Structure 1
Amino acid sequence: MSAEPERALRVGIAGPVGTGKSSLAAALCGALSDELRLGVVTNDIYTDEDARFLRSQGVLAPERIVAVQTGCCPHTAIRDDVSENLLAVETLEAAEGPLDIVFVESGGDNLTATFSPALADTQIFVLDCAGGDDVPRKGGPGVERADLLVINKIDIAPLVGASVERMVSDANDRREGRPTFPTSLRAPDDVVRVADWVRGELARHRAGELVPADPGPMAPHVHAADDHHHDHEHSHAHTH
């Protein structure tokens, strides 16, 4: 049997602005903190607003929540040069450890945002219904190859004219069997479902079975055009 890892499981949480990354991190900390030793590293460009929000929720001791101010596009700090985030994670573990899980929350970014496997052992990508129910069909590395895709705020889908069924179906068409969870963080059962998935990843980490996959920074994909039945390739690059 493999020896238990010497460091915490690192769970990356990424997604566009406003999809509920901080709220998901808070909900997971609330669901898991009684049984596991947790820490959080947040990323903002110029502020520590996400860290202050999490501290205000009272889900962890304030010293377990650390802010990184990237001063650059969020994906740079979670993928291209992860040194500042790695230092934050390692410093947090040294000061507060041993820890079981460190959640690393990216700043709001676009559909190409993914974590370097040197930073995150497993990755959650968060979309929301208010962003449009066509977003999963547009794809991108975060949507297609994150270990878990959370489609958040399903409770407001009727108010914004979004089809949750369409979003889940389009996501599943792209994700090659990786899980997609339609979620409302106001629904306790939905939070439990995501927390159970995190527990499963922790068990795999402790057993030495979790090997971080690299989703790729700007992976192109091919799909059939609806009208012309031919394949074409493109990458979903977005401006900031």
Structure 2
Amino acid sequence: ENLPDEGIFLWNFGDGSFSNKSNPSHTYSKSGRFEVMLSHSSMGGGNIRNKPSSDLIVINEAPEADFVAQAQNFDGQLPSVHFENRTVGGRSYQWDFGDGVTSDVAHPDHIFRRKGTYKVELVVTNASGCVDRKEREVVVAHDYNLLAPEAFSPNGDGTNDLFIPEALRDLDLRFKLAIYDRSNGELVYETTDATKPWTGRRMNRGELCKPDTYVWVVEFPDALHLSDTPFQGEVTLVR
């Protein structure tokens, strides 16, 4: 039955909480079954009516989101942060690492490529559709871009004659390195072999490329936490 907006209202939400608003909202702090009752009286003091809800309100138990971040730096791999999901009652997970990258993996690994303080948020949903969030800060002390040199000089003197991001020599991951002429976007070299760095020549054959700044891009097709966003940077060829 519809009631007028005028009058005196008293809502009993069944958990010890009350409201005298005509159309209140209420948040239950715990799960359970609650009978909601409404008492309404007209402004004249008559027509007092008690109207219990026709159905009990069932509040499902919410998940409890929680996680810890564990830094991992070891030889032969990328320096990454492992996120251990300690959520209770979760069914699906959505991570936001604070650097534009997201994940729906339960226990993801992530590489922060630039130093800074990142707010990492985990949003958890359980089987009933209830949601909980947890946010923690991760502090990254140093930039990381595969330990790539910023310049090299392929002049045959035996010093700094070759270019390759140094981390690729030690990684146990399949990769593809591509190098482009920044001025026109032309591909000048590519390789999937860390023992074949760029010599400064077009496709490592013929004459040396002109002294200039070139763009390099590295992709890791097999690493799920790296496949979406390639590493990239610039290297200057000098003589």
- Normalised TM-score (structure 1): 0.20
Higher strand share: 2
- Structure label with greater radius of gyration: 2
Higher helix share: 1
